[in-house]
Amino acid sequence: MTNEKRNQGAFFPRDRNWQPPALTPPYKTSVLRSPQKALLSLDNTLSEMTGPVFGHNIIGDLDNDLILNFAKDGELPIGERIVVHGRVIDERGLPVKGALLEFWQANAGGRYRHKKETYLAPLDPNFGGCGRTISDEDGYYYFRTIKPGPYPWPNGVNDWRPAHIHFSIFGDGFAQRLITQMYFEGDPLIWKCPIVQAIPSEEAVKQLIAPLDMGNTIPMDSLAYKFDIVLRGRRSTMFDNRREGN
């Protein structure tokens, strides 16, 4: 058991030098969508320290199986079969249990199943591209999917997104809410991408690159990549209940 008191404190402030700034002009869309005034810094209140909880009852049998959750009976999507797994922990290293993780991605050809998507690569009739799961008591999660392809996007005239999977994560408190992207070890497009380069340091970018994990592959079936996720930690409340005076 973790110390329950410790789990009630305010979250550590977000390290804005580690996170990408709002305005990153090489990623052009950020220019008109980045607040220009300073953020109002506030210690958490109950409104940020609390957050919704999602029960396992919302999760269907195939929600963490993107290989099967859109495929027609007896058919399979095209592409490299992979398992993605890891732990959700906080900045103290404590497991975040019961975290809802949602994922979305392009298919093996780099094409998204979306009304507004126009890339010429074809849709895969057996691949939807979304999934979700809830972390267990140790913060552990896993899902399987097809490795997404890189794709071109309208920013510079020849910008390409490295292969990536989008993640949305809920922790225990709404202040921990996070959306990010997972990249794949060895992809040379990572270091050319203006969205990746929005992150100030190479060290922080590396936190988004999942290594190939031969220890968790399924022989003759699927490769594996490990992706651990760190959410904001909570401050200690060890002296908060001490009575001063009365």
Which one from 113, 166, 177, 235 is the annotated catalytic residue?
166
> Which CB sits closer to another protein, 44 or 222?
44
Which one from 85, 132, 161, 232 is the annotated catalytic residue?
161
Q: Tell me the C-alpha distance between 169 and 139, whole Å.
A: 12
Q: Is 119 a known active-site residue?
A: no
> What token pair was written down for 169?
């994560």
Q: Is 112 a known active-site residue?
A: yes
> Which CB sits closer to another protein, 127 or 222?
127
B/e letters for 136-174, b = 16+ CB within 10 Å, e = fewer, are: beebbbbbbbbbbbbbeeebeeebebbbbbbbebbbbbe
Q: Is 151 a known active-site residue?
A: yes
CB of 220 to another protein, least distance (A): 27
CB of 133 to another protein, least distance (A): 12
> Which CB sits closer to another protein, 12 or 217?
12
Q: Is 177 a known active-site residue?
A: no
Show Cβ contacts of residue 243 under 8 Å, excluding neighbours closer than 6 positions.
Answer: none
Q: Tell me the C-alpha distance between 87 and 136, whole Å.
A: 9
CB of 83 to another protein, least distance (A): 18
> Which CB sits closer to another protein, 220 or 242?
242
CB of 113 to another protein, least distance (A): 5
Q: How open is the CA angle 175-178-180, to the nearest 5 degrees?
A: 165
Which amino acids are annotated catalytic? Answer: 112, 151, 161, 164, 166
